[in-house]
Amino acid sequence: MEVRMPGLIATWWSQGRRTVPTPSDASRLPEWFRGRPVLQPERCLPDCHACRDACPTDAVNTSPLRLDLGRCVACPECAAACPTGALTMSSDHRLATTRRDDLILDGGPARLAQAMESRTRRLLGRSLRLRQVSAGGCNGCESELATAGNVVWDMGRFGIQFVASPRHADGIVVTGPVSANMEQALRDTWEAVPAPRILIAVGACAISGGVFCGSPQCRDGVPADLPVDLYVPGCPPHPLTFLDGVLRLLDRLG
């Protein structure tokens, strides 16, 4: 032990403190990050459908220009295809919404997630336990959700934590396009969570089916009869996008 301790302490020292500051509207991700698409419909050329044709998930519509973040897989294709810069990508990580319609971008101001009603917020706002259900997720979203709990993003400091049982949970976080083989397990897990409970759909797959939309083996995301409280788009969403959305829902964004 007396040989090892200096190594451990020295490593501790040199690894340093890595936790990022409390997320806020001023939080910034690197320039390379493909976050919120920026639409400038006034720049569109007449009869140009280059962005629409380039999109692998039919997320883009032209005439008028619209982009459905719930289907968008954040690939570079539409922006690369646009001849005029009417559609570009920004590194803005704030993408989560509380209403499905708010995910449809039209070039107007961003409509971000709203705080939930005050009674539920009082109950869950300072301690939110979530059960994660992957239903056909490829391990992209799952991996980024796990990252949200590591020393860098440390969602535990906000009282948010993933738990091992739906009985201990205040809500579930669904990833994946909801494969037919997981639909029942997803419903059973949801039913096992005591009320009041919330449902968070994470990633293009859980919101719309993503690249698997239309597959007979999938349900195109969270079934319509389950009430989604927060949509976190992306493929996968960055851990900061997830944190930003949940903190807005809890009205705790610093």
Partner 1 sequence: MTLGPPKSFRNGQAVPGAAIPTVAPRAFRDLVIAACASGARVCALYALPSGGEVTLHVLLAHDDVGRLSMLATRTRAGGSFPSMASALPSTQAMERAVFEDHGVLPEGHPWLKPLRRHPALQAGSGTEPGGPQGPADARRPEHPFFRVEGAGVHEVAVGPVHAGVIEPGHFRFQCSGETVHTLEIHLGYQHRGALARLVAARPAHRTAIAESLVGDGAISHGLAYGVVAEALGGVAVPERALALRQVALELERISDHVGDFGALCNDVGYLPAASWCPRLRGDIQNALGLLTGHRFGRGFLVPGGLIAPVGDDVLAELARVLATFGREFTQVVSLALDAPSVLSRFEGTGVVSQAVARDLGLLGVAARASGCDLDARRDHPLPGCRPLPSAPSVQATGDVLARARVRVAETTRSLERIQAQLAAMPDGPVRAPVGPWAGDAVAVGLVEGSRGQVTHVGITDANGGLAAYHVFDPSLLNWPGLAMALRGQQISDFPLCNKSFDLSYAGHDL
| Interhelix angle 140-147/239-249, nearest 10 degrees | 70
Q: Specify the residue, 81 or 115, whose C-beta has the smaller distance to partner 1.
A: 81
Q: Specify the residue, 120 or 212, whose C-beta has the smaller distance to partner 1.
A: 212
Q: Specify the residue, 120 or 209, whose C-beta has the smaller distance to partner 1.
A: 209
Among candidate residues 230, 232, 203, 225, the one with its CA nearest the CA of residue 134: 203
Q: Specify the residue, 63 or 165, whose C-beta has the smaller distance to partner 1.
A: 165
**At its nearest, how many Å lie between partner 1 and the CB of residue 173?**
8
**At its nearest, how many Å lie between partner 1 and the CB of residue 37?**
13
Q: Specify the residue, 212 or 231, whose C-beta has the smaller distance to partner 1.
A: 212
**At its nearest, how many Å lie between partner 1 and the CB of residue 96?**
18
Q: Specify the residue, 11 or 21, whose C-beta has the smaller distance to partner 1.
A: 11
Handedness of CA 206, 31, 92, 29 (dihedral sign): positive
Q: What is the DSSP letter of 218?
A: B
**At its nearest, how many Å lie between partner 1 and the CB of residue 161?**
11
Q: What are phi and psi of 214, to 5 degrees?
A: 95, -5
Element (H, E) at 37: strand 37-39
**At its nearest, how many Å lie between partner 1 and the CB of residue 216?**
6
Distance CA 137, CA 176 (A): 4
- Rule CB under 8 A: which residues touch partner 1? 4, 7-8, 11-12, 14-15, 18, 30, 32-34, 54, 56-57, 73-77, 80, 131-147, 149-152, 162, 164-165, 176-177, 179-185, 188-189, 210-212, 214-218, 235-236, 238
Among candidate residues 181, 224, 164, the one with its CA nearest the CA of residue 199: 224
Q: What is the dihedral of CA 164, 166, 172, 178, to 10 degrees?
A: 90
**At its nearest, how many Å lie between partner 1 and the CB of residue 250?**
20
